[in-house]
Amino acid sequence: MLVQSTTQTAPPGYEPSTAARILEVRTVPYAIPYSKPLKFASGSIAIADNVLVEIVTSDGVVGIAEAPPRPYTYGETQASIVAVIEQIFAPAIIGLSILDREQVRSRLARTVGNPTAKAAINMAMWDAWGKTIGTPVHSLLGGFTDQLQVSHMLGFDDPDVVAAEAIQLRETLGISSFKIKVGRRPVHLDVAVCKAVRGALGPDAELYIDGNRGWTAAESALAIRQLEDVGLSRVEELCPADDVLGRRWLVSQCPIPFVADESAPTPADVTREILAGAATAVSIKTARTGFSDSLRVSHLAEGLGIEAVIGNQIDAHIGTVCSLIFGASQEITARSAAELSNYLDMADDLLQEPLLIENGRMRVPDGPGLGIRLDPEKVTRYRVDL
């Protein structure tokens, strides 16, 4: 019955494209522990309990992507991602071409929410297509540049601990852009962390903060004033967007870009929040908008004349590569350091080759599709039964 209702979105006489068809959509829930759990205002992450999504084509190609469940942000769980893909999405798109992205998008849109499940299907289709023709997805998306500067996320901890972590990352990986998680009470706890990091790194590092809606608007305004001499490049989601007037009051007095992230996960949300004065920049996460809707958000941001930065959905390795590929493919996202390094805190991965950060930068893999290869032994080892 679900199949019937979704296929009605095809226009009369619609013929799928002649490229390889979607034969099967597989989901592989897996779990890899974090060696260092990340703590932030809206939650904490101790284990990567993601869903590997595989699209098998009629040519025998397997496109991959992954969906990270973020119940405190999108309401998805590992089990819900598996269920919606197996029960609703797969039946709706099997038989379509791997190039029928807009038709697939239209069919998936009949189900509300489930952004990371939808995004993983979109990215697995792009990977399958890239592998089919032996071309990197990064090039298929327009190929603006082949590398991005990396920004690292620093979670809650004492000022000296956070400052030491930043110094260590600069020394070992050359990273010089840091997002500091804030939103604790009282405000001076986080102000002290920011000052300590700035003191340790000196004036040339880029620092910015992310509150994950932990503060009130007034606390946020106080923090911005107290952090004035720290020289932040931007701030993100300091207070809840649902505190509508408080947020607008805060943004109107903020001297640096105010980034909407979880408050603007879709293009329509971006328009609403920007026009409402609730933000002046936007974060793009391929984990929730895949490649096709990340293009929508970046084109929208470009057209509205606001900054767009590549954020991190606490991405594991596959998700990190997706962020990297997309961010480097477009001029607007290649301008800023991208949040790509959360995978560093994971105890292991599913890949044959490790990801690499050198001189604070990541290069786009040059293989076909996403340019990465799964290690079947690791996939078997970390697979979980739901």
User: Where does this chain bind a second copy (CB under 8 A)?
Assistant: 10-11, 13-19, 97, 99-103, 105-106, 133, 135-136, 138-147, 267-268, 270-271, 275, 292, 295-297, 299-300, 302-305, 329-331, 334, 366
Residue 182's alpha-carbon distances to 205, 278, 344, 366, 383, in angstroms, are: 18, 19, 20, 36, 34
Smallest distance from the beta carbon of 146 to a second copy, in angstroms? 5
Active-site residue (options: 118, 131, 179, 181) = 181
Q: Is 331 assigned a catalytic role? A: no
Nearer to a second copy, 143 or 231 (CB): 143
Which tokens hold the place of 205? 């590092």
Active-site residue (options: 206, 210, 237, 273) = 210
Which among 69, 42, 40 is positioned nearest to 241, based on CA atoms? 42
Q: Are the C-beta atoms of 361 and 9 separated by less than 8 Å?
A: no
Nearer to a second copy, 107 or 181 (CB): 107
Amino acid making up residue 173: L
Task: Mark out the alpha helices in 143-207 (DSSP H runs).
Answer: 159-173, 188-201
Which among 149, 148, 122, 130 is positioned nearest to 288, based on CA atoms? 122
Q: How far apart are CA 77 and CA 80, in angstroms?
A: 5
Nearer to a second copy, 78 or 329 (CB): 329
Q: Is 285 assigned a catalytic role? A: yes
Q: How far apart are CA 330 and CA 149, in angstroms?
A: 14
Q: Is 49 assigned a catalytic role? A: no
Nearer to a second copy, 51 or 274 (CB): 274
Question: Looking at 58-134, which runs of residues are DSSP E strands?
Answer: 62-67
Smallest distance from the beta carbon of 115 to a second copy, in angstroms? 16
Nearer to a second copy, 137 or 239 (CB): 137
Nearer to a second copy, 231 or 367 (CB): 367
Q: How far apart are CA 8 and CA 77, in angstroms?
A: 28
Active-site residue (options: 273, 313, 330, 339) = 313
- Residue matched to tokens 């990273």: 175
Q: How far apart are CA 114 and CA 102, in angstroms?
A: 17
Beta pairing partners, 361: 149, 358
Other CB atoms within 10 A of residue 352 CB: 12
DSSP 106-131: HHHTTS---HHHHHHHHHHHHHHHHH
Smallest distance from the beta carbon of 205 to a second copy, in angstroms? 19
Q: How far apart are CA 239 and CA 117, in angstroms?
A: 27
- Residue matched to tokens 């050359």: 174
Smallest distance from the beta carbon of 302 to a second copy, in angstroms? 6
Q: How far apart are CA 193 and CA 153, in angstroms?
A: 13
Q: Is 131 assigned a catalytic role? A: no
Active-site residue (options: 127, 236, 262, 349) = 236
Q: Is 315 assigned a catalytic role? A: no
Smallest distance from the beta carbon of 139 to a second copy, in angstroms? 4
Active-site residue (options: 118, 131, 179, 285) = 285
- Residue matched to tokens 């919606």: 84
Smallest distance from the beta carbon of 165 to a second copy, in angstroms? 28
Q: Is 149 assigned a catalytic role? A: no
Q: Are the C-beta atoms of 98 and 132 separated by less than 8 Å?
A: yes
Active-site residue (options: 190, 237, 261, 307) = 261
Nearer to a second copy, 130 or 240 (CB): 130
Smallest distance from the beta carbon of 371 to a second copy, in angstroms? 12
Catalogue the active-site residues: 181, 210, 236, 261, 285, 313
